[in-house]
Amino acid sequence: MMDTGVDQEVQGRENLQNLINGFAPDAATCLALSEGVQFLSDFWSRHYLDQYIREGGSKIKFVTGRPGCGKTHLLHAMEEMARQKGYKVASVSAAKTWLHDFSLIYLEVLRQVSITEILVACANSIVRNMGYDPAEIPEGMTFIDYLSQQGMADAIQRRELRVQLKEMFLDNPLLDNNFALSCSLITGGILGHPVLEDANRDLLLGYLHGEPGIKTALLRSLGLSPEKLTRYNARHMLRSLSEVIRLGGSPGLLVTVDQMDVMLNRSGMQELHYTTVRRQDTYESIRLLIDDIDTMHNVMFVFAFDRDLLDTPKVGIMSYSALMMRIQNEILSERFNCFADIANLDDLARQQYDVPTVLRMAEKLAQYLSERGCQTYTLTQEQAEKLIHQAGSGTVGLPRLVNRAVLMGVPEETIEEVSADA
């Protein structure tokens, strides 16, 4: 396993290279460098993460705008805020994970949140419900072994343990039956009762992760009635996952989906190439998620894409009226509406990014870069005003213009060139 210090060093180099290239760094760095976009991220954190989602609600948001307007930065900042509040977080990229089949999104989310860690948390919750402190159980010892050591592993305690597992998983109407039984058996194995052999635990984990080649007969011997994971039942599995996350003591699940605009790229050179059929299937998958979102609890989705994906008539979201009807904002306002389902960061920039904001943005970025050996330039008030003007009429968002200006400077005669290079 790579040393933590080496991990941090590698991440630091990646962050620096991303900033030099005009891209967003990792989540923690994005949150530290945030300026201006907090108007939206703090609002979502306060009203959704702290309240609505934590209390059992569910929500889907869409973020759009020109290239370089801060979409990925906003997603990363939200991810870091969610982690700090105890949420489980999954970050999905349409350039690396197919979106046309929701089962692939579900499996990627499941991989990132670690179902084993979640079920350990559920086991600890059961231990507390039975009046014991999980911290008092020696490392490597199961709960039932700990009770045996104390002379308390009698039939009554074992029955109570089975009752707790049944109430938490099997009697929970929000859980898929097979998902519930799998989690119950794995959690029981963590607790030491009922005993679960390592081979059966691996079998159940493989089933949950959709691994091919899982033998159905072996799953049936454990009491499951397994069915193949599909794009249709994957949403119900995600609902089960978010509920188990809540049972483990987390306030909920945040899923961010970035780079959706790759669906407009017709080049065969990219890792994933979205054909017309896959693009339409993606729109339909999102529509179905919107229709099902009210049946889920403690989960928030944030999708991000360039404005072109929304506006391109024949291939963009507008071409799929069933989805467009569900996400379009019915009430238009001159003021930026943080409650709107579609957040246009270009509109946010016009309202919130004044000269002092741009100067603070540039100062934070310059300090970060200069501390890592990069030559940077200090923006004047006049230069900040010109960048704001340039962003208002150009094709590149203001955050990326500021990034380029801090790294390259803003000579009077090349202000337009900075926009073009960015």
Euclidean distance between CA atoms 212 and 206, whole angstroms? 8
Domain-embedded: residue 395: yes
Euclidean distance between CA atoms 247 and 118, whole angstroms? 9
What is residue 170's DSSP assignment? I
Q: At what angle do helices 115-129 and 177-191 cross, to 10 degrees?
A: 70
Q: Are residues 203 and 346 in the same domain?
A: no
The H-assigned helical ranges of 270-414 are: 276-292, 307-311, 321-327, 345-352, 355-370, 381-393, 398-408
Domain-embedded: residue 1: no
Instruction: Report the SS3 class of residue 257.
Output: strand
201, two tokens: 């635990």
Alpha-carbon distances of 9 from 15, 16, 304, rounded to whole Å: 10, 11, 29
Q: Are residues 337 and 249 in the same domain?
A: yes
Q: Are residues 95 and 202 in the same domain?
A: no
CATH number at residue 275: 3.40.50.300
* pLDDT attached to residue 135: 95
Alpha-carbon distances of 6 from 9, 12, 25, 113, 255, rounded to whole Å: 5, 10, 17, 23, 28
Q: Are residues 279 and 136 in the same domain?
A: no
Q: Are residues 146 and 178 in the same domain?
A: yes
* pLDDT attached to residue 9: 84
Euclidean distance between CA atoms 150 and 252, whole angstroms? 35
Euclidean distance between CA atoms 178 and 176, whole angstroms? 6
Euclidean distance between CA atoms 289 and 111, whole angstroms? 20
Domain-embedded: residue 2: no
Locus of tokens 């072994």: 145
Alpha-carbon distances of 116 from 141, 177, 221, 297, 398, rounded to whole Å: 17, 18, 22, 21, 42
Domain-embedded: residue 197: yes
> What end-to-end distance do the CA atoms of the chain give, in Å?
38
Locus of tokens 């969610």: 82
What is residue 313's DSSP assignment? T
Q: Are residues 340 and 364 in the same domain?
A: no
Q: Are residues 342 and 392 in the same domain?
A: no
Divide the 422 residues of the chain into consecutive groups of 10 and give the mean pLDDT of each group.
Answer: 65 90 93 94 97 97 95 97 98 95 96 96 97 94 95 94 97 96 98 95 95 91 92 94 97 97 77 90 96 96 94 89 82 80 94 95 95 93 93 90 91 46 42
165, 186, 221: which is the final residue of a domain? 221
Q: Are 196 and 184 in contact (CB under 8 A)?
A: no
Q: Are residues 212 and 131 in the same domain?
A: yes
Domain-embedded: residue 109: no
* pLDDT attached to residue 414: 41
Q: Are residues 33 and 76 in the same domain?
A: yes
- Domain extent, residue 370, equals 354-421
Euclidean distance between CA atoms 75 and 263, whole angstroms? 19
Q: Are residues 363 and 408 in the same domain?
A: yes
* pLDDT attached to residue 311: 87
* pLDDT attached to residue 410: 74
Domain-embedded: residue 173: yes
* pLDDT attached to residue 332: 61
* pLDDT attached to residue 416: 47
Q: Are residues 217 and 322 in the same domain?
A: no
Euclidean distance between CA atoms 389 and 157, whole angstroms? 71
Q: What's the domain count of the chain? A: 3
Q: Do strands 342-344 and 88-93 pair parallel, antiparallel, or not at all (unpaired)?
A: unpaired
In 3D space, the residue among 344, 247, 343, 238 whose CA is nearest the CA of residue 300 turns out to be 238
Q: Are residues 192 and 247 in the same domain?
A: no
